Structure 1
Amino acid sequence: MAVNELQNGGALVKITFEPGTYTVEGVSVTPLLNRTYCIFDLEGTGIDTAVESVTQFGAIYYKRGEGADKTSFVSLVRASKPIPEAVEKLTGITNQAMQQALHFDEVYKQFCSYIGDQVLVTHAGYEYDLPMLEHHCEQFGLTMFTNKVLDTKAMFTYIHPEVTDVVSTDFLIHYYDLDTEGIHRHDALEDCGIIARIFECVLEEYEQRGLDHFIADSEKRMKRFVIPDMYLTKEKGELSE
């Protein structure tokens, strides 16, 4: 069992990783339905947050009923290690592009300026994006942001205990029957657009159930994503965060 503790909106967030599952404590957001959010996503050299490196940030502002704002934030980040060939093909981010990319500390400061004090939204952020950013901040001697963070994976899992699948982005795209044709998946900014559409569907379900809050519950477990073969071998595969 491993435990990550983060400052989140003035509270201590505790993410406890167990074999195959994880739980979250310390996140509380209310109201949910009528506020502006900032949705963000990361791309990286892989998904082991202890050893992999961020390659791209993406972020957009979003308010329910109004969709995503026209302004956005996107930037490549110079990785500290080579990008595996399979990941280059998956994301379209190449090792050649890394030569001109800004270093993490520069991009992170720009990202923090963009997000301000908004509540953030991710998908699988409790098990990937937040631990990844925490690790990088430690490496670069930076202060981790303290914004509250919602995770569409956790929000969905809490209201659908009957679902036994790993709640990946692909699972939710199929569950909500979203059309993603023509969208460049695994691009941080374009994935933000998909997360926004998923988040819209999740909020609709919360409203239907009379819920205008999210409170993390340590009794409710999320299934951890399975590391795809592409990260275990050098063969082709697909990432499912």
Structure 2
Amino acid sequence: MKITFLPGTYTVDELNVTPLQDRTYCIFDLEGTGIDVAVESVTQFGAVRYKRSEGASGSSFSSLVRASKPIPASVEKLTGITNQAMSQAPLFKEVYERFCSFIGDQVLVTHAGYEYDLPMLERHCQEFGLTMFTNKVLDTKAMFTYIHPEVTDVVSTDFLIAYYDLNTEGIHRHDALADCGIIARIFECVLEEYEERGLDHFIADSSKHMKRFVIPEMYLKKENEGVTK
């Protein structure tokens, strides 16, 4: 898979996932010290197995990761992950290897993972001398954009929750495992739309552009105040 970043957008190429409907996926999410993948550090992994006929199963993976830099106060408040918890968290290498064992060779599903989770993991793997996994990865943001060219908003998690009228009351948002549950529900809605259109595949098309989330200027000067992917 090839992701090309452009000013304000990105495109995807060299990805073909078929069938979409009848397979087991692994949905995953990361939390970090901030939103800028070039400088921030992973603080939590979450993953859950998912099959459309069964939903998100009881098989899941969750672990904190010891960050290489302090977590800003605003991000502590947003995620509930504290700098104190970091002192007892396992190192990235250990957690990443356990995560790779959990996902096996299954197709992965993320939200905004093409612009956050994957670049973040690739940078961490380079820094720690680890091999980046080669699993195919679907992104609900890209999947939605492909079938809704009329939508001009940034397709964030909050946008899709509102679009599909999902009730997330009582869910601990910005916890990696809890967010996997939300991504699973969004993915279910997207798969339903694909089925209604007679689509049982996702083929990357470099002519289709996804609108990237925006890093606020105040973040670039100071710290991340909590951007929604």
TM-score (norm 1): 0.92
Q: Provide Cα deviations, 1:95-118, integer angstroms capped at 9, x if missing partner.
A: 000000000000000000000010
Asked whether 1:194 is paired with 2:182, we answer yes
Structure 2 CA distance, aligned partners of 1:149 and 1:14?
11
Mapped contact 2:49–2:60 kept (Cα < 8 A): yes
Q: Provide Cα deviations, 1:179-207, integer angstroms capped at 9, x if missing partner.
A: 00000000000000000000000000000
Deviation at 1:65, TM superposition (A): 2.4
Asked whether 1:212 is paired with 2:200, we answer yes
- One of 109, 119, 128 as aligned partner of 2:107: 119
Deviation at 1:233, TM superposition (A): 5.7
1:7-156 residue pairs with structure 2 within 5 A?
13-156=1-144
Q: Provide Cα deviations, 1:162-188, integer angstroms capped at 9, x if missing partner.
A: 000000000000000000000000000
Tell me which amino acid in the other structure corresponds to 2:143: M
Q: Would the alpha carbon gap of residues 235 and 127 (structure 1) be closer, same or farther in structure 2, given more than 3 Å must change?
A: closer
Structure 2 CA distance, aligned partners of 1:229 and 1:182?
31
Number of residues of Structure 1 aligned to a counterpart in Structure 2:
229
Deviation at 1:239, TM superposition (A): 2.1
Asked whether 1:160 is paired with 2:133, we answer no
- One of 161, 167, 172 as aligned partner of 1:173: 161
Tell me which amino acid in the other structure corresponds to 2:32: G
Deviation at 1:235, TM superposition (A): 7.8
Tell me which amino acid in the other structure corresponds to 1:129: D
Q: Secondary structure at the match of 1:69?
A: strand
Q: Would the alpha carbon gap of residues 178 and 230 (structure 1) be closer, same or farther in structure 2, given more than 3 Å must change?
A: farther
Structure 2 CA distance, aligned partners of 1:147 and 1:237?
32
Mapped contact 2:34–2:41 kept (Cα < 8 A): yes
Q: Would the alpha carbon gap of residues 60 and 230 (structure 1) be closer, same or farther in structure 2, given more than 3 Å must change?
A: farther
Structure 1: give runs of 5+ residues left out of the alignment.
1-12
Deviation at 1:27, TM superposition (A): 1.1
Structure 2 CA distance, aligned partners of 1:170 and 1:193?
14
Structure 1 CA distance, aligned partners of 2:26 and 2:223?
35
Consecutive aligned runs of 4 or more in structure 1 exceeding 3 Å deviation? 232-238
1:226 maps to what in 2? 214
Q: Percent identity over the alignment?
A: 82
Tell me which amino acid in the other structure corresponds to 2:155: V
Q: Would the alpha carbon gap of residues 197 and 229 (structure 1) be closer, same or farther in structure 2, given more than 3 Å must change?
A: farther
Deviation at 1:230, TM superposition (A): 6.4
Structure 2 CA distance, aligned partners of 1:58 and 1:125?
13
Q: Secondary structure at the match of 1:201?
A: helix
Tell me which amino acid in the other structure corresponds to 2:21: L
Mapped contact 1:228–1:238 kept (Cα < 8 A): no
Q: Provide Cα deviations, 1:65-103, integer angstroms capped at 9, x if missing partner.
A: 211111210000000000011000000000000000000
TM-score (norm 2): 0.97
Tell me which amino acid in the other structure corresponds to 1:151: D
Mapped contact 2:76–2:82 kept (Cα < 8 A): yes
Q: Secondary structure at the match of 2:174?
A: coil
Bigger relative contact order, structure 1 or 2 (CA pairs below 8 A, ≥6 apart): 2
Q: Would the alpha carbon gap of residues 214 and 236 (structure 1) be closer, same or farther in structure 2, given more than 3 Å must change?
A: closer
